Amino acid sequence: MDIMEIDTINTEILSLGTPKIPSPLHKETDTITEHFVADQDRVLLFVDEKKVLSFVAKGQPIPSFELAGPRSQIYFDPSKMRCALVTCGGLCPGLNDIIRAIVLELYYRYGVRNIYGIRYGLQGFIPSFGHDVMELSPRNVENILDMGGSILGSSRGPQDIDDIVDCLERMNIGILFMIGGDGTLMAANRITDTILERGLKISVVGIPKTIDNDIFLVARSFGFETAVDVATQAIEGAHNEAEGYPNGIGLIKLMGRHSGFIATTATLAKQEVNFVLIPEVDFDLEGPSGFLTKLKKRLESRKHAVIVVAEGAGQKFFEGASAERDASGNIKLKDIGVFLKEKISDYFHARKMEIALKYIDPSYMIRSLPANANDSVFCGFLGRDAVHAGMAGKTKLLIGNWNNHFVHVPMESSAGKRKHVNPNGKLWRTVIESTGQGSLKNE
C-alpha cells in the first residue's frame, strides 16, 4: 500500500484508565496465559528495510501499531458491564459473523451478560425513530452465520451526536462496538470526543466495514474476499456469453466507488478479462488509444471480449450533471455500466458492425450474501479482538489487519482517508500484463 506522510501518522491508542482487574481468561484451564499480549508488543507499519533504516538514521521512532489481543489486566468489571453493538451503512458479507463473534466472546470468555443490539444503525439511538433495542445472547446469535445482511438492520445518514451519547448514558453502556465504513468511523470519532468531553467512561471500538477494501491503514476489510469470489462467477458467466456469439461482449460492473480493488483482484483471479476500468486510472473512449478503439481491434482479432468496470470509473464523462448526495453525504455516482453499454452499442452500430452485448451487474446480490469461509474466519478474529480491546479500556480505535497481524489503529488516523489502487504499483501492473489492454489514454 502506498502511504504518504507516514511519519505524521499517530499510532497512540487512548485508554479510559489503568487496567487493574485480572482478566477472567486467567481462569481457563488451557495455556491461554501464553497468549496474553502487552501494549509494548508492536507491529511495524513497514517491513521494508530501507524505510525502517531511514527512520533509524533520522533518530525517529519506527512507526508501529499496538498488537491486538487479550490483555492480562482489564479495565471493566464484567459482572457490571453493559455493552452495545450497532451496524451502519451499506450491507456487507460478514456482518452477522462479527455480531456473533462479539456476543460469544463477551458472554463465554468474559462473563458479560448484558449485551444489546441497536436496531437500524444510528437511528436506533434516537428516541423519535422508536426502534426497539435487541437483547443479544448466544441463543439468538448461534444460527446467524449463514444469514446475509445484519440481524440488527442498518441505516444511512448522520444523527445528532449529543443525542447518541445521551442514549449511551441512559442505557449505562460501558463499551460501544460500531461496525461500519468510513462514515461510521468518522461518526465514531465524534461520538468518542463527546464522551471524553463529558468525562464518561465509555469505550468506543470500531470494526471497519467496506466491501471495497478501501479503508486507510487497513490492509484487508471483511466482505472483500466474498465479493471477489462472487465477482469471478460473474466474469465466468460473461466470458461464456461472449464466446457463444460472434463479436460477443461481456460487460460486468462491480463495486468500487473510489477504489478498484474488487475489479482488479477479481480480474487476476479469473484471467479471462480483456479490459479493466477503475477510478484510479483515467481512460478515453475514442481516439487511437481510446477504449472503444481498442475494443474494436480486440473483436476483429479474437471475436469476443470481456470488460470489467468499477462503479466509480469514468465519472468525468458525466461532468455538468447535478452532484446529488445520498443520506450519508456521499455523491451519488452516475451509472458507468449503463453508460458504457449504450456507448459501445452506438459505436459499433455507427460502424455497421454487429455485436452481441451482455451486461451484468451483481452488486446488490454480492453485498447481501453470507460471508464465504475465509471471510467468516477473518470476522471471528476481528470480533474477538474488538472485545479484548474494549474490555481493556481502550477507546477511539478500530481493529485493523496489517502485515498479517490484527492491530489497534487510532480512529483519527484512518477516518476520512481512503486507500487506493496505486497506478504505478504491482497490482495494477499485473492487471495490465494479464489483460494486455495497455494505456487507454490518448497522449
Residue pair 337/311 in contact (Cβ under 8 Å)? The answer is: yes
| CA pair distance 47, 50, nearest whole angstrom | 9
Quickly tell me which residue has 487476476 as its cell.
268
How crowded is residue 420: how many other Cβ atoms within 10 Å of its Cβ?
17
Catalytic residue among 39, 97, 166, 212: 212
Radius of gyration of the chain (CA): 24
CA dihedral 104, 105, 107, 110 (to 10 degrees): 170
52 phi and psi, to 5 degrees?
-65, -45
| Contacts with 360 (C-beta within 8 Å, 6 or more apart), sequence order | 234, 237, 238, 250, 251, 252, 253
Q: Is 385 one of the catalytic residues?
A: no
Surface-to-core class of residue 196, CB atoms within 10 Å of its CB (0-12 exposed, 13-18 middle, 19+ buried):
middle
* Residue 120 near residue 151 (C-beta atoms within 8 A): no
Distance of CA 422 to the CA centre of its chain: 18
Q: Distance between CA atoms of 278 and 284, rounded to whole angstroms?
A: 12
Q: Give me 276's grid cell.
A: 479493466
Beta strands (DSSP E) in 275-335 are: 275-277, 304-310
C-alpha grid cell, residue 266: 477479481
Secondary structure (3-state) at 157: coil
H or E stretch at 436: none
Axis-axis angle for helices 261-269, 224-243 (nearest 10): 60
Report the catalytic residues.
Answer: 212
